[in-house]
Amino acid sequence: METRKYELSFWLTSNLNESEAETVFNEIIKKIESLGGQIINTQIPQLKPLSYKIKKETNGYFGFIHFSSSENKLSDLEKETHLNDKILRFIIVRIRDSKQRPKPREIKHPFLFKSRQISHQEEATASPSQGEPTSVSREEMSLEELDEKLNEILKE
Protein backbone atom coordinates (compact mmCIF):
# COMPACT_ATOMS: atom_id res chain seq x y z
CA MET A 1 0.00 0.00 0.00
CA GLU A 2 1.10 3.54 -0.71
CA THR A 3 2.61 5.58 2.10
CA ARG A 4 1.34 9.07 2.72
CA LYS A 5 2.48 11.95 4.89
CA TYR A 6 0.60 12.77 8.09
CA GLU A 7 0.82 15.11 11.03
CA LEU A 8 -0.05 14.08 14.58
CA SER A 9 -0.68 17.19 16.71
CA PHE A 10 -1.33 16.71 20.39
CA TRP A 11 -1.76 18.36 23.79
CA LEU A 12 -0.29 16.64 26.84
CA THR A 13 -1.50 17.24 30.37
CA SER A 14 0.23 19.99 32.33
CA ASN A 15 0.62 17.65 35.34
CA LEU A 16 3.80 16.36 33.69
CA ASN A 17 7.20 17.97 34.04
CA GLU A 18 9.34 18.60 30.95
CA SER A 19 11.25 15.30 31.13
CA GLU A 20 8.01 13.32 31.52
CA ALA A 21 6.49 15.17 28.56
CA GLU A 22 9.53 14.24 26.45
CA THR A 23 9.20 10.63 27.59
CA VAL A 24 5.56 10.51 26.42
CA PHE A 25 6.63 12.21 23.18
CA ASN A 26 9.33 9.55 22.60
CA GLU A 27 6.80 6.79 23.33
CA ILE A 28 4.55 8.17 20.59
CA ILE A 29 7.49 8.26 18.17
CA LYS A 30 8.39 4.64 19.02
CA LYS A 31 4.78 3.60 18.45
CA ILE A 32 4.74 5.25 15.02
CA GLU A 33 8.00 3.54 14.10
CA SER A 34 6.79 0.16 15.41
CA LEU A 35 3.78 0.45 13.08
CA GLY A 36 6.12 0.95 10.11
CA GLY A 37 6.01 4.74 9.95
CA GLN A 38 8.97 6.99 9.22
CA ILE A 39 9.48 10.21 11.17
CA ILE A 40 9.97 13.29 8.98
CA ASN A 41 9.87 16.23 11.41
CA THR A 42 9.02 16.79 15.07
CA GLN A 43 8.46 19.50 17.62
CA ILE A 44 9.22 18.61 21.21
CA PRO A 45 6.21 19.46 23.41
CA GLN A 46 6.34 22.89 25.03
CA LEU A 47 4.13 24.18 27.83
CA LYS A 48 1.58 26.67 26.46
CA PRO A 49 -1.75 28.09 27.60
CA LEU A 50 -4.86 26.45 26.18
CA SER A 51 -7.47 28.55 24.40
CA TYR A 52 -10.16 26.91 26.50
CA LYS A 53 -10.25 24.41 29.34
CA ILE A 54 -9.78 20.76 28.47
CA LYS A 55 -10.50 18.32 31.29
CA LYS A 56 -10.31 21.23 33.76
CA GLU A 57 -6.79 22.20 32.63
CA THR A 58 -5.77 25.63 31.36
CA ASN A 59 -2.21 24.77 30.26
CA GLY A 60 -0.71 21.89 28.34
CA TYR A 61 2.31 20.67 26.43
CA PHE A 62 1.81 21.11 22.67
CA GLY A 63 3.83 19.14 20.13
CA PHE A 64 3.55 17.57 16.72
CA ILE A 65 5.09 14.81 14.65
CA HIS A 66 5.22 14.70 10.85
CA PHE A 67 5.53 11.14 9.61
CA SER A 68 4.84 8.92 6.63
CA SER A 69 2.88 5.72 6.98
CA SER A 70 0.40 3.50 5.20
CA GLU A 71 -3.22 4.39 5.72
CA ASN A 72 -4.21 1.04 7.25
CA LYS A 73 -1.83 1.56 10.23
CA LEU A 74 -3.45 4.86 11.27
CA SER A 75 -6.34 3.23 13.08
CA ASP A 76 -3.90 1.33 15.34
CA LEU A 77 -2.00 4.53 16.10
CA GLU A 78 -5.26 6.34 16.80
CA LYS A 79 -6.40 3.63 19.23
CA GLU A 80 -3.08 3.67 21.09
CA THR A 81 -3.08 7.46 21.31
CA HIS A 82 -6.68 7.51 22.49
CA LEU A 83 -5.89 5.12 25.34
CA ASN A 84 -3.02 7.25 26.69
CA ASP A 85 -4.45 9.25 29.61
CA LYS A 86 -1.57 11.75 29.48
CA ILE A 87 -2.80 13.04 26.11
CA LEU A 88 -5.57 15.64 26.44
CA ARG A 89 -6.32 16.02 22.73
CA PHE A 90 -4.84 14.88 19.46
CA ILE A 91 -5.59 14.96 15.77
CA ILE A 92 -4.06 13.14 12.82
CA VAL A 93 -4.32 14.89 9.46
CA ARG A 94 -2.98 14.01 6.05
CA ILE A 95 -0.45 16.42 4.56
CA ARG A 96 -0.75 16.95 0.84
CA ASP A 97 2.30 17.50 -1.30
CA SER A 98 2.48 20.87 -3.03
CA LYS A 99 2.21 19.00 -6.34
CA GLN A 100 -1.16 17.55 -5.34
CA ARG A 101 -2.78 20.79 -4.24
CA PRO A 102 -5.54 21.94 -6.56
CA LYS A 103 -5.21 25.37 -8.09
CA PRO A 104 -7.58 27.91 -6.57
CA ARG A 105 -10.49 28.72 -8.83
CA GLU A 106 -10.94 32.26 -9.98
CA ILE A 107 -14.30 33.68 -8.98
CA LYS A 108 -15.96 35.59 -11.76
CA HIS A 109 -18.99 37.57 -10.74
CA PRO A 110 -20.19 40.83 -12.30
CA PHE A 111 -20.52 42.61 -8.95
CA LEU A 112 -17.23 41.55 -7.42
CA PHE A 113 -14.00 43.44 -7.80
CA LYS A 114 -15.49 46.40 -9.70
CA SER A 115 -14.33 49.64 -8.30
CA ARG A 116 -15.28 52.83 -10.01
CA GLN A 117 -14.59 56.26 -8.65
CA ILE A 118 -17.40 58.75 -9.23
CA SER A 119 -16.75 62.42 -8.86
CA HIS A 120 -19.27 64.67 -7.07
CA GLN A 121 -20.53 66.09 -10.39
CA GLU A 122 -20.97 62.61 -11.89
CA GLU A 123 -22.71 61.43 -8.74
CA ALA A 124 -25.32 64.20 -8.98
CA THR A 125 -26.02 63.67 -12.68
CA ALA A 126 -25.42 59.97 -13.15
CA SER A 127 -28.12 57.43 -12.58
CA PRO A 128 -26.74 54.05 -11.68
CA SER A 129 -27.00 51.49 -14.47
CA GLN A 130 -28.56 48.20 -13.58
CA GLY A 131 -26.21 45.60 -12.17
CA GLU A 132 -23.48 48.07 -11.35
CA PRO A 133 -23.06 49.24 -7.77
CA THR A 134 -22.42 52.89 -7.08
CA SER A 135 -19.52 53.93 -4.94
CA VAL A 136 -19.96 56.60 -2.31
CA SER A 137 -17.27 59.16 -1.80
CA ARG A 138 -16.06 59.57 1.75
CA GLU A 139 -15.28 62.93 3.26
CA GLU A 140 -13.37 63.54 6.43
CA MET A 141 -15.33 65.34 9.11
CA SER A 142 -14.68 66.45 12.61
CA LEU A 143 -16.14 64.72 15.64
CA GLU A 144 -18.53 67.62 16.24
CA GLU A 145 -19.90 67.37 12.71
CA LEU A 146 -20.26 63.63 13.10
CA ASP A 147 -22.18 64.08 16.36
CA GLU A 148 -24.51 66.60 14.71
CA LYS A 149 -25.23 64.25 11.80
CA LEU A 150 -25.89 61.37 14.17
CA ASN A 151 -28.28 63.49 16.21
CA GLU A 152 -30.14 64.49 13.02
CA ILE A 153 -30.47 60.86 11.97
CA LEU A 154 -31.62 59.70 15.38
CA LYS A 155 -34.25 62.45 15.65
CA GLU A 156 -35.92 61.31 12.39
- pLDDT tens digits for range 83-138: 999 999 999 999 887 666 666 666 565 555 555 555 555 555 555 555 555 555 56
How high is the pLDDT of residue 111?
55
Sheet with strand 38-54: strands edge to edge: 38-54, 57-70, 3-13, 87-95
CA distance 115 to 106: 18
CA distance 54 to 44: 20
Task: Assess whether pLDDT exceeds 70 at residue 148.
Answer: yes
- pLDDT tens digits for range 53-71: 988 999 999 999 999 998 8
How high is the pLDDT of residue 1?
67
CA distance 141 to 121: 20
Q: Which among 57, 135, 65, 62 is positioned nearest to 93, based on CA atoms?
A: 65
CB atoms within 10 A of CB 133: 11
Q: Angle at CA 152, nearest 5°, toward 146 and 155? A: 135
pLDDT class for 3, splitting at 50, 70, 90? confident
Query: Against a cut of 0.75, is the pTM above it?
Result: no
CATH number of this structure's domain 3-95, picked from the four choices 3.40.50.170, 3.60.10.10, 3.40.50.2300, 3.30.70.60: 3.30.70.60
Burial class for 63, CB neighbours closer than 10 Å (0-12, 13-18, 19+)? buried
Task: Return the higher-pLDDT residue of 110 and 150.
Answer: 150
pLDDT class for 8, splitting at 50, 70, 90? very high
- pLDDT tens digits for range 10-64: 999 999 999 999 999 999 999 999 999 999 999 999 999 999 998 899 999 999 9
